[in-house]
Structure 1
Amino acid sequence: MGLGPVMLDIEGTSLTPEARERLAHPRTGGVILFTRNFESIAQLQALTAQIHALRDPRLLIAVDHEGGRVQRFRDGFTRLPPAASLGRAYDADHQCGIDLAEQAGWLMAAELRAVGVDFSFAPVLDLAHGVSGVIGDRAFHRRPESVAALAQAYVRGMRRAGMQAVGKHFPGHGAVREDSHLTLPVDGREMAEIEAHDLRPFAMLADTLAGIMPAHVVYTQVDELPAGFSRFWLQEILRRRLRFSGAIFSDDLGMAGAEFVGDYPQRARAALAAGCDMLLVCNHPEGAAEVLAELEAAETDPVAQVRLARMRGQGHVDGLAGVQQLPAWKAAVDALRGLAEFPDAELNV
């Protein structure tokens, strides 16, 4: 049994019989964890071991663990700085900022790999235009070149810890005020402006990233569909023009920004037809069941299988206590502690 195209969530801190049944479904390919799935380090490591033992090849385990206000696991983990603080350090001293970004990427990835998580949906490549509350200090910087330089270093650190990276939210979520969790944001800029600014970090990292997540944003001067459901954005721009060969992960199909496309099965079909390799369905068990049923007879895409297999974490999982004994861990924590002088709410504008 290969990896299916659906990534699901689970309810609690251990696997229920219902969760085991959903995860055993042939169209399931991964699990995304949330804060509700975390009680302690030992519990989390036991949970990831349970999930990985369910299937062969094993399911992918992912989490949103960027740092700042988007960090799902906290007690026992290092509190990671928001990306914007790395951007401010970069403004003060370019090389120092690059070094800190690599340390942050390594630290995030090393701690997650130690408890059995395959990858985090990071880094954010959106630009800090200063208008998006949902992006805010999750963005490294306003300037595309600065975002790309910091993200390259962050990804380098992740890879050193045995984790692949997923850049988001293609082709850029930072220029819209609306939150796609709550509504469908509309970006009315011309293609030339998007290419000159927001698209550039994705273009500069296209051959570095193993995964990309498109935005639930509609760019009205380019295509009538949100990027995650648009063959133009995913096939013409991302695959052909940027030559991206990694996995494309939909953003959560349960978000309000996806409702424009239809019900859950319609969203799933549209995202796959546009070019997504894996579909996230979170916080809606009924919707997840509908998607699994809809895709029951769908053919397996062997190319997507190869792309998704690349997302598996590498290296031996020693446990968080073991990682926290490493000189590299102490060096990273000490280096990043200095970022406390930068207020989280401050932006690069």
Structure 2
Amino acid sequence: MTDEIERAAYAVLLPAVSSLELDETVRRYLSRGGVSILLGETRDEYLARSMSFERRRSETQAHFAGIARQAAACAGSPVLVAVDQELGGIQRLHRLVPGMPSADALRDLSVDVIEARSYEMASSARVMGVNLFLAPIVDVVTGINPWLHDRHLGADPAEVSRIACAFIRGVQRAGVIATAKHFPGHNQTEHDPAVAHAIVHGGMEALEDGLEVFRQVIAAGVQAVMPGPAVFPALDPAQSASTSQKVIGLLRDTLAFDGLIISDDLDAVSILRGHGITETAVTALKAGAQLLLVSSESGLDRIAQAIIGAVKSGELDRQQLLGAADKVRQLAHKSRAQVDAGLYVSYPISAGHLTRRVTL
């Protein structure tokens, strides 16, 4: 029983790793029940919305395929391998997959063309072992928003829905899980939530355009949704969207989303809001998040032990934790089964050797 809870506590963590190599911390996490990793970017790359020259020069498809195989071997089970592969924003796979048009160019393309281009790009990623995109961004941005600058699809909810739904259909047809973010839609915020407290002001009417886009992407079959890092006083003045039972309840109960709920980065200042990472992780799970995005350097064992302790004390419902872990595992196994069934075309993988270690 204790082992079941322990493995579940690790299964609900999504650590962002610092390179295309698995360090001892991440290997231990996978051996203890972890089934997900995020292949992230550096802070400088995140701010620039572009991978560094050195990374683009040195990384190959073989590096991604290799780390995916290593992760599955350490876990002894299928693993979710995630990347940021946004439209008009962060594209972690840079030149290694067919590129997508810019956000402006996408507006001139038909849904059939967008879906076909998305399928081609995701198919190449799938062969490399990547099976989860933390994309698309579907926030309808109508005001100041330095956080989503050069990352969003615009201010027209109909156009955001049209592009995002085509992207989701193409990506998921290729066997890659798409993640619509950032619920309930960050239409404007003055601060970058990674480094400051971010608030989205306004009543429910101000959120309606964003919510309508989420209704559309849910209807299109998106398999994962990520609540965002800001606080929405109209919904919950005390918690960020990623740790708010009211916000996640709106997604689950009102919008009837039954897929995977992935928190935004719990290390973000706007999510922590002065609390520790362990307390925040438990709060996110209690609120209904099922997979918690954290840095691999934030103390994975410490977070897992806090989750276990919360179950033992009765603070966190045991079945809620087990249900979240099962949801993550089911998606990982489904992804592996699709590959085993031979649903995807194989492409040659180039050789190479990673020469640079990066840090989030």
Contact 2:146–2:189 under 8 Å retained in 1: no
Which structure is higher in RCO with an 8 Å CA cutoff and minimum separation 6?
2
For 1:114, which of 99, 108, 127 is the aligned residue? 127
Structure 2: where are the runs of 5+ without partners?
Answer: 1-6, 43-54, 312-317, 351-360
Partner of 1:295: 307
- Which residue does 1:29 correspond to in 2? 35
Letter paired with 2:81: I
Matching of residue 61 in structure 1 with residue 112 in structure 2: no
Paired residue type of 1:202: F
**How many Å apart are 1:166 and its aligned residue?**
0.9
- After superposition, the Cα gap between the structure-2 partners of 1:127 and 1:53, relative to the gap in structure 1 and judged at 3 Å, is same
* Shift in Å, 1:123: 1.1
Q: For the Cα contact (< 8 Å) 2:89–2:152, is it kept in 1?
A: no
**TM norm structure 2:** 0.79
Query: Mean Cα displacement is larger for which, 226-235 or 30-39?
Result: 30-39
Q: 1:149 to 1:318 in 2, by over 3 A?
A: closer
Report how far residue 85 of structure 1 moved: 3.1
Contact 2:228/2:242 (8 A) holds in 1? yes
Structure 2 residue aligned with 1:194: 207
The alignment status of 1:310 with 2:310, answered yes or no, reads no
Partner of 1:257: 270
Equivalent of 2:216 in 204, 224, 233: 204
C-alpha distance in 2 between matches for 1:241 and 1:133: 30
Task: Name 2:248's counterpart in structure 1.
Answer: 234
**Is the 1:210–1:310 Cα contact (8 Å) retained in structure 2?**
no
Among 42, 54, 70, which residue is 1:50 paired with?
Answer: 70
Count of residue pairs the alignment pairs up: 312
- How far has the Cα of 1:13 moved from its partner? 2.6
| Whole-angstrom CA distance in 2 between matches of 1:124 and 1:141 | 10
1:269 is matched with: 282
Secondary structure at 2:308 match in 1: coil
- Between the aligned partners of 1:141 and 1:232, the Cα distance in structure 2 is 27
Give me the TM-score of the superposition, normalised by structure 1.
Answer: 0.81
- 2:138 is the counterpart of 1:125: yes
Residue type at the aligned position of 1:246: G
Q: Secondary structure at the match of 2:165?
A: helix
**What does 1:59-208 align with in structure 2 at a 5 Å threshold?**
59-87=79-107, 89=108, 96-195=109-208, 197-207=209-219, 208=221
Q: From the superposition, tell whether residues 174 and 193 of structure 1 become closer, same or farther in structure 2 (CA, over 3 Å).
A: closer
Aligned equivalents of 1:206, 1:79: Cα separation in 2: 25
Aligned amino acid, residue 247 of structure 2: W
1:141 shift after superposition: 2.9
Partners of 1:185 and 1:306 lie apart in 2 by 32
| Contact map agreement 1:7 1:279 (CA 8 A) in 2 | yes
Matched-pair contact (CA < 8 Å) for 1:166–1:210 = yes
Q: Judge conservation of contact 2:88–2:151 (CA < 8 Å) in 1.
A: yes
Residue 256 of structure 1, CA deviation: 1.4
Instruction: Write the letter of the residue equivalent to 2:134.
Output: F
In 2, Cα distance between the equivalents of 1:294 and 1:287? 11
Task: Name the SS for the 2:125 alignment partner.
Answer: helix
Q: Deviations over 1:3-54 (max 9, x none)?
A: 711111223332233331122223x231000247982221221111111222
1:43 maps to amino acid: H
Deviates more, 1:61-70 or 1:77-86: 77-86
SS of the residue 1:258 aligns to = helix
> Over aligned residues, Cα RMSD in angstroms?
2.5
CA, structure 1 residues 320+70, in 2 after alignment: closer, same or farther (shift >3 Å)? farther
The more displaced of 110-119 and 4-13 is 4-13
Change (3 A) 1:187 1:57: same
Is residue 2:341 matched to residue 1:321?
Answer: no
State the partner residue of 2:24: 17
CA contact (8 A) 2:62 2:349 kept: no
Tell me which residue corresponds to 1:8.
15
Q: Report the secondary structure of 1:54's partner residue.
A: helix
Quick check: 1:101–1:151 contact (8 Å CA) kept in 2? no
Q: Which amino acid aligns with 1:186?
A: I
* Secondary structure at the counterpart of residue 71 of structure 1: coil
Q: How far is the alpha carbon of 1:319 from its aligned partner?
A: 5.2
8 A contact 2:184–2:227 mirrored in 1: yes
Question: Would the aligned equivalents of 1:35 and 1:73 in 2 still touch at CA under 8 Å?
Answer: no
* Deviation at residue 322 of structure 1 after TM alignment: 7.2
Q: How many Å apart are 1:194 and its aligned residue?
A: 0.9
